Structure 1
């Protein structure tokens, strides 16, 4: 299911100069803010939870997911080079699965690790805040990668649509509108964080069983459908 050659090409595409620069900006900003808060305010559990929830989970993780998820396949479809990959004796499901693994790895590396470091900077993992939000970032990375990889296979405007989703739906509606929270990856991931941190510091409007089911369901369905779209794309290329 995993193809090293496809993985190498995908890493090269996702971590190209322009995308890599963007990938580093948000984690660096998070660490800078966390360091400044620790210096000027000192360790505070609630501030740590608010910053990691409001910036890391609500904005940084989905935005990095957009860059990694769409970047794993959208550029190849846009410039037509995907046809050469599809011409190789590699199963389409293997291509999608490999690209998903790369997108997940990149998203986790650029979101979960900085979240963990920022949490320790802010309050030394007091009340398990750093660990809780790191777990949230890890599970959210998987779902976002699958969603945005799918988006990259179905639209030539994947990045724009992904940014709208990340900034409008997740960061705005997913945080403020009660009805939208149930359909928010952010809220699903926070349900896990809520169970890890001290009670009252982190909240989610989605129960843990439902959150886990939705995370798994979205990841599986998005990955499967991306594979189906890629199969159709190959047939179109052959005609």
Structure 2
């Protein structure tokens, strides 16, 4: 269910010079803020959780997910080069799962790892904050990459749709509107963080962990399945 050639092409598409520069910008900002917080002496557990929850999980992770998830397949569909990939004797599920694996790996590099480093810079190993938010970021990244990869197979405006979701739904409605928070990937990630951090740190999530786990599974499994089905439709369209 993993093809090295598809993986190599996907890595090349995601880590091109222009896209790589964009991917580096937000993590660099997060790390710069973390260093500033540390050197000014205001770093504590509350400041760290506010930065990692309010900026990293709410903004950085979904935006990285948009860039990586849509970039893993969207450009190939837009320029028609996907037809050459679909002409190979590869299962459509192998193509999608390979691209999703690469997308999650790239997101780990540009989101989860910087979150871990930012937490360690600010508070070290205190209350397991850095590790908890890094794990929450990994879990949320899987859902984001699946969701945006799916959108990339559905619409040619995947980046715009993804940005609207990330900036409006996740950063605005998902943070402040009670009903919408239940359907926010950010809140699902926070539910896991809440379970992992030490007892001395309060992390607020609008979703209980069992519910968050179910919703994450539904989005990941359902989104992957539907992306495969969409790719089958593209194959038929190309043959016709």
TM-score w.r.t. the length of structure 2 is 0.98
Write out aligned runs for 1:203-218 (5 A).
203-218=204-219
- Partners in 2 of 1:43 and 1:110 — Cα distance? 23
Aligned to 1:224: 225
List gaps (5 residues or longer) in structure 1. Answer: none
Q: Does 1:107 align with 2:107?
A: yes
Aligned to 2:186: 186
- Partners in 2 of 1:113 and 1:229 — Cα distance? 32
Aligned to 1:160: 160
Alpha-carbon offset, residue 51 of structure 1: 0.4
Write out aligned runs for 1:1-239 (5 A).
1-199=1-199, 200-239=201-240
Alpha-carbon offset, residue 16 of structure 1: 1.2
Alpha-carbon offset, residue 44 of structure 1: 0.6
What are the Cα deviations for residues 107-153 of structure 1, in whole angstroms up to 9, with x where unaligned? 11110000000001111131111111111101001000000000000
Once superposed, which parts of structure 1, at least 4 consecutive aligned residues long, lie more than 3 Å away?
none
- Partners in 2 of 1:162 and 1:121 — Cα distance? 31
CA RMSD of aligned residues (A): 0.8
List gaps (5 residues or longer) in structure 2. Answer: none
What are the Cα deviations for residues 67-98 of structure 1, in whole angstroms up to 9, with x where unaligned? 11000000000000000000011111110110
- Partners in 2 of 1:196 and 1:236 — Cα distance? 47
- Partners in 1 of 2:147 and 2:43 — Cα distance? 36
Q: Tell me the number of residue pairs that the alignment of Structure 1 and Structure 2 aligns.
A: 239
- Partners in 1 of 2:156 and 2:72 — Cα distance? 13
- Partners in 1 of 2:16 and 2:157 — Cα distance? 19
- Partners in 2 of 1:196 and 1:226 — Cα distance? 32
Equivalent residues of 1:42, 1:122 under 8 A apart: no
Alpha-carbon offset, residue 13 of structure 1: 0.6
TM-score w.r.t. the length of structure 1 is 0.98
